[in-house]
Structure 1
Amino acid sequence: MEGECKMSQVVVVIGDRLGKGHHVAKGVEAAGGKAIVISGVGADMRLGDVMDTENADIGISFCGSGGAGAITAQTKYGYPAHYGMRSVDEGITAINEGKKVLGFGFMDTEELGKRITEAYLKKVQG
């Protein structure tokens, strides 16, 4: 359509303390996003660096407390973050509040990736 604004693909970086995150990535991709999973143990601590390099729209961090990687990304790069989350709905609320980095306890599920990506797309597309 004439005058229609097409948004480029949403880029989501996933950093898991235990080197996981592949289920979340499947959900991101199912919602039409591009998932970048940081490999290796301690990946959550590199979340902000990879987000910066990849010019990512969202970063998702997983660790026991749900905070370390998100706090590091917020401190180092100034990304608005919400952490300590334990549910998908908390993540959706954070997206709607304009947060760019989401810190969760261990929740490597497709549902999380899909619903967070869908919420982000809904927010930016109006």
Structure 2
Amino acid sequence: MADVKVVIGDRLGKGQKVGMGVEAAGGSVTVIPGMAADMKLGDIMKQEEADFGISFCGSGGAGAITAQNKYGYKAKYGMRSVEEGVTAINEGYNVLGFGFMDQEELGKKLVEAFVKKYRS
């Protein structure tokens, strides 16, 4: 299985639990350090040639919209559940914006959905 590269940007500098889920599913992860990391998501995705990115903030939109506007990534935001994220992967989105949800399950399920759609 080819490695799935994921970048995580969290407004509060978190995202480590989601990152553990990405790794548990066999992916590699870059968690952007520091406050307002969500606003750097598109830049780091481009630099790392990531398969997809995850943005976390109160609304789930700021970092995702910025990545979309700056680099043309297909973004879906305002999501609040693992199921919404899996659906977004299945619909071809590569920037996923969530409200604060630093959960290992989220990272694991998103990578599994990506592998099923693009690598199997």
Which TM class, normalised by the smaller chain length? over 0.9
Runs (5+) with no aligned partner, structure 2: none
Where does residue 11 of structure 2 map in the other structure?
Answer: 17
1:106 is aligned, of 91, 100, 118, to 100
TM-score, scaled to structure 1: 0.94
Give every structure 1 segment of 4 or more consecutive aligned residues whose post-TM-superposition deviation is greater than 2 Å: none
Q: Percent identity?
A: 71
Where does residue 54 of structure 2 map in the other structure?
Answer: 60
Distance 1:57 1:68 in 2: 20
The answer (yes or no) to whether the contact 2:4–2:51 under 8 Å persists in 1 is yes
Distance 1:125 1:23 in 2: 24
Runs (5+) with no aligned partner, structure 1: 1-6
Distance 2:106 2:21 in 1: 7
Cα distance, 1:92 vs structure 2: 0.4
1:72 aligned onto 2:66: yes
> Which amino acid in the other structure matches residue 114 of structure 1?
K
Cα distance, 1:87 vs structure 2: 0.3
Distance 1:26 1:67 in 2: 23
Query: How many residues are aligned here?
Result: 120
SS of the residue aligned with 1:59?
Answer: strand
TM-score, scaled to structure 2: 0.98
Instruction: State which structure, 1 or 2, has the greater radius of gyration over its C-alpha atoms.
Output: 1
Where does residue 37 of structure 2 map in the other structure?
Answer: 43
> Which amino acid in the other structure matches residue 87 of structure 1?
S
The answer (yes or no) to whether the contact 2:2–2:119 under 8 Å persists in 1 is no
- The two structures, once aligned, show a CA RMSD in angstroms of 0.7
Distance 1:28 1:49 in 2: 20
Distance 2:12 2:29 in 1: 17
